[in-house]
Amino acid sequence: MKSKWNEKEARKFIKEYNKKGVSRELALRIYTTRLLGNNSQLVLHGGGNTSLKLSLKNSFGKKENIIFVKGSGKDMSNIDIDGFPALELDNLIKLKKLKKISDFQMVNYQKKYMIDTTFPNASVETLLHSFLPHKYVDHTHSNAILSLIDQPMDKNICKKIFGENLAIVPYIMPGFKLAKKSSEVFKKNPKVKGLILLNHGIFTFGNTAKQSYERMIKFVSVAERELKRKSRKIKKNLYIEKKVTPSNLSNIIRKYISIPLDEDYQRKIICYSNSLFINQFFHKNVFTKINGPVTPDHVIRIKHKPLFLDFTKIKSDKIEQVIKKKLLIIKKNILIILIVTNI
């Protein structure tokens, strides 16, 4: 993975945002956040987050420590100033003294300490960003990093590959507990350049936007090289479905997933994929053992449980009946994977 940092573009960002009254630091925060967000190997829409800490004067002319954090659900690829709510950093840091707070209380505190409540809610990982001392903090759900840490002996793998450069945080659901644990892990080795959150993703940080961003690219590249070195060749005689076309099934599926399960009616679009990756994936013949996405954070878009429809032993005139039965008993917005063979 190569760095997309461009000095000319960075200066242009600074100049354009300066006209809007936005500081150099925040302009570069927006710039590098977009660099991360436009790389699909790092984040999905709505996933990942970034932050910036500054000391600014409040309405009374007194300096106050502020943290700008990506707004919850905001797309990093085209994020702007309105996607970075500002919060009172010192008050957020005080929460670290508490032993326990619920998710509801955490969100309430974050709303309470917002500088401008017209902005979107801050990321669920705001406290994690706040508890780290660095000026710039970046977080992604890198495909390469997840490929390394979503397997047995994950800690040993990380220690071997990243050494003392990255500290390892065990999996905890995003929120107050994860923020406290990450802070504890960091304090044990404050010289680290980032954190690996097992089954979750990676954090990097630095004193400048460029440093934090390029550390992200550096460590993801290390993971990519390790995966390439360890990867095995896939057999070339992959099965490719030729008997069934999308038109055989798309209208039937659209018909039943568009039936409103409640008053919140939504139209659906069917997307068909027959890429080499799909064929390689099904060639393994272990797809029914999938328990969920590579990181729980991906449920924002693809939900937690895939549905497999195997038509191998189903007669053509029974296809619609099978689809109807399956789709009407599952929750809407589920990820659907179709296994369509030998019809």
Q: Express each pLDDT in 139-151 by its tens digit.
A: 999 999 999 998 8
Coil/strand/helix, residue 196: strand
Q: Could you give the CA distance from residue 167 to residue 165 in angstroms, rounded to a whole number?
A: 7
Give one DSSP letter per residue of 230-257, joined into a string. Answer: HPPPPPS------S--HHHHHHHHHHHH
Spatial separation of the C-alpha atoms in residues 301 and 200, rounded to whole Å: 15
Domains along the sequence of the chain with CATH: 7-230 (3.40.225.10), 246-339 (no CATH)
Say which amino acid occupies 287. F
pTM over 0.95: no
DSSP at 70: P
Residue 76 has pLDDT above 80, yes or no: yes
7-18 vs 24-37: helix crossing angle, rounded to 10? 130
Mention every residue, 6+ apart, whose C-beta is less than 8 A from residue 194.
Answer: 165, 166, 167, 202, 203, 204, 205, 215, 216, 219
- Supply the pLDDT for residue 342: 40
Question: DSSP for 283-326?
Answer: HTS-GGG--S-SSGGGHHHH-S--EEEE-TT--GGGHHHHHHHH
Averaged pLDDT for residues 35-64: 90
pLDDT in tens, 5-29: 999 999 999 999 999 999 999 999 9
Per-residue pLDDT tens digits for 222-245: 999 999 887 777 665 555 555 556
DSSP state of 81: G
